[in-house]
């Protein structure tokens, strides 16, 4: 009887111990809620939308080779054909990569004689990032390389489809020997361009329309803007500690929390945010920094239009990442008159040390639209030939919008823009009112 009583008592002690352990374990959050860290001050207000990095990587041009030295060019604004081709290629698989030297093939002969499509990104895209956009074989030994073109063509001589990825430094080319693309696929891509504007190129790099083109509108676009208070709430850990260094209506405005700084200028439409980062000795990885830059924008202002990854400058100490803004699928190029049409971030090992962006939010509404004509043919060649580029060569030509800021609207005017080998983008030629004939 005594032994039975001991057993019951022991059982009760065990139960009481378990109950006490339960309350101790699950009462901890009440204690933790009293502890406040610096990050708890961040109460960011959602402004723009969030974006995935794969949606920021896309070709600036699709060059279609129609055979017999006939060509045309699709831009992101060439809807729906640009999207149809790109979507189809994103669903294909590229396997069995083989590396070779780029000069082992006469590419000028191939572009003149064979039907195919070139995807031109216009900047270095690391293979590891490109894999987020296309289904590229994982078993690939050259991931640290970057590419700037993909060229797919059907060979007249061998009746087969060949697919090549061009390294951005111009030295190597990678062939996907097991890409699931058929001759019928290539014929379909090329078929979209049969009745499009004809383009010509003397060197296979810069393509110029044979005739003027009238596909873009001049328009006035209403806008709203992010306020300085909204950006302070998004960028400073505790906005209540932020103080004004200089606040004048006729000049830049400066704000700081003692460590980070915010400069708002151009009558409140452009901001520069700085956050000093201590130098480190670790590796500065460009891919990690691109991912970190995308995440930072998602959390601090968001994306209020379509953007494209256009610049990745990497050094031992930092990376500079730039995203080009598009409006209605056309890039915005402001020239030197105003800062507008891009975001740029400087990062060190994933930490953002500077952040530049416009505070304007363009409306989808358009006012006072009019059709404009961009020059082509010999007229455009003469304009380009008369440019004083100081020895800098043009590597790409594309239509763009040049913005002009009014009181309530931004005027978007179609222009020809060019990217130089240095990476600089300039405005080459203006548009004129389209003929009514």
The tens-digit pLDDT sequence of the chain (437 residues) is 444 444 444 444 434 444 444 333 333 333 332 333 333 334 456 688 999 999 999 999 999 999 999 999 999 999 999 999 999 999 999 999 999 999 999 999 999 999 999 999 999 999 999 999 999 987 766 677 899 999 999 988 888 999 999 999 999 999 999 999 999 999 999 999 999 999 999 989 999 999 999 989 999 999 999 998 899 888 987 767 777 876 566 788 899 988 899 999 988 899 999 998 766 666 778 899 999 999 999 999 999 999 999 988 877 788 999 999 999 999 999 977 788 999 999 998 889 999 999 999 999 999 999 999 999 999 999 999 999 888 789 999 999 999 999 989 999 999 999 999 888 899 999 999 987 55
Cα angle for residues 4, 8, 11 (degrees, 5° grid): 140
Q: Which of 366, 309, 297 is nearest to 49 (CA)?
A: 297
Residue 391: the pLDDT is 78
Burial call 326-341: b when 16+ CB within 10 Å, e when fewer:
bbbebbbbbeeebbbb
Q: Measure the CA–CA gap between 53 and 130, rounded to whole angstroms.
A: 10
Element (H, E) at 161: strand 160-167
Residue 277: the pLDDT is 75
At 20, give phi and psi (nearest 5°).
-60, -40
Q: Measure the CA–CA gap between 76 and 332, rounded to whole angstroms.
A: 13
| CA 104 to mean position of chain CA atoms | 32
Q: Which of 148, 205, 206 is nearest to 174 (CA)?
A: 148
Residue 247: the pLDDT is 56
Residue 50: the pLDDT is 95
At 326, give phi and psi (nearest 5°).
-115, 150
Residue 45: the pLDDT is 63
Domains of the chain: 79-195 (no CATH), 220-361 (3.30.310.160), 364-433 (no CATH)
Residue 361: the pLDDT is 95
Residue 257: the pLDDT is 86
């Amino acid at each position: 009887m005594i032994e039975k009583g001991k057993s019951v008592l022991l059982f009760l002690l065990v139960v009481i111990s378990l109950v006490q352990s339960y309350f101790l374990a699950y009462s901890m959050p009440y204690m933790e809620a009293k502890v406040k860290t610096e990050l708890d001050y961040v109460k960011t207000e959602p402004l723009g939308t969030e974006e995935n990095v794969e949606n920021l990587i896309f070709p600036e041009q699709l060059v279609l080779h129609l055979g017999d030295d006939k060509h045309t060019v699709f831009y992101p604004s060439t809807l729906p054909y640009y999207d149809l081709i790109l979507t189809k290629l994103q669903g294909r698989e590229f396997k069995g990569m083989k590396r070779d030297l780029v000069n082992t093939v006469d590419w000028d002969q191939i572009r003149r004689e064979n039907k195919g499509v070139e995807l031109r990104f216009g900047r270095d895209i690391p293979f590891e990032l490109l894999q987020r956009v296309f289904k590229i074989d994982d078993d690939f030994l050259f991931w640290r390389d970057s590419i700037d073109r993909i060229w797919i063509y059907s060979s007249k001589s061998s009746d087969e489809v060949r697919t090549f990825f061009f390294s951005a430094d111009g030295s190597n080319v990678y062939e996907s020997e097991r890409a699931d693309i058929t001759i019928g696929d290539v014929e379909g891509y090329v078929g979209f361009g049969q009745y499009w504007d004809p383009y010509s190129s003397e060197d296979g790099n810069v393509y110029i329309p044979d005739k003027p083109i009238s596909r873009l509108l001049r328009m006035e676009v209403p806008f709203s803007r992010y306020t300085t208070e909204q950006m302070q709430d998004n960028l400073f850990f505790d906005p209540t500690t932020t103080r004004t260094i200089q606040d004048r209506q006729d000049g830049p405005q400066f704000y700081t929390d003692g460590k980070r700084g915010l400069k708002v200028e151009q009558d409140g439409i452009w901001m520069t945010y700085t956050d000093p980062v201590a130098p480190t000795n670790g590796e500065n990885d460009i891919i990690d920094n691109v991912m970190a830059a995308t995440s930072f924008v998602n959390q601090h202002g968001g994306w209020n239009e379509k953007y494209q990854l256009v610049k990745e400058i990497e050094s031992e100490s930092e990376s500079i990442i730039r995203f080009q803004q598009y409006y209605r699928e056309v890039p915005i190029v402001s020239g030197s008159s105003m800062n507008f049409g891009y975001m740029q971030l400087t990062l060190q090992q994933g930490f953002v040390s500077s952040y530049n962006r416009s505070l304007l939010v363009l409306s989808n509404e358009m006012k006072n639209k009019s059709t404009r004509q961009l020059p082509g043919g010999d007229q455009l060649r003469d304009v380009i030939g008369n440019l004083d580029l100081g020895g800098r060569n043009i590597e790409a030509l594309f239509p763009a919008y040049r913005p002009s800021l009014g009181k309530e609207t931004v005027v978007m005017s179609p222009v020809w823009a060019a990217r130089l080998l240095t990476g600089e983008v300039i405005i080459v030629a203006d548009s004129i009112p389209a003929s009514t004939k």
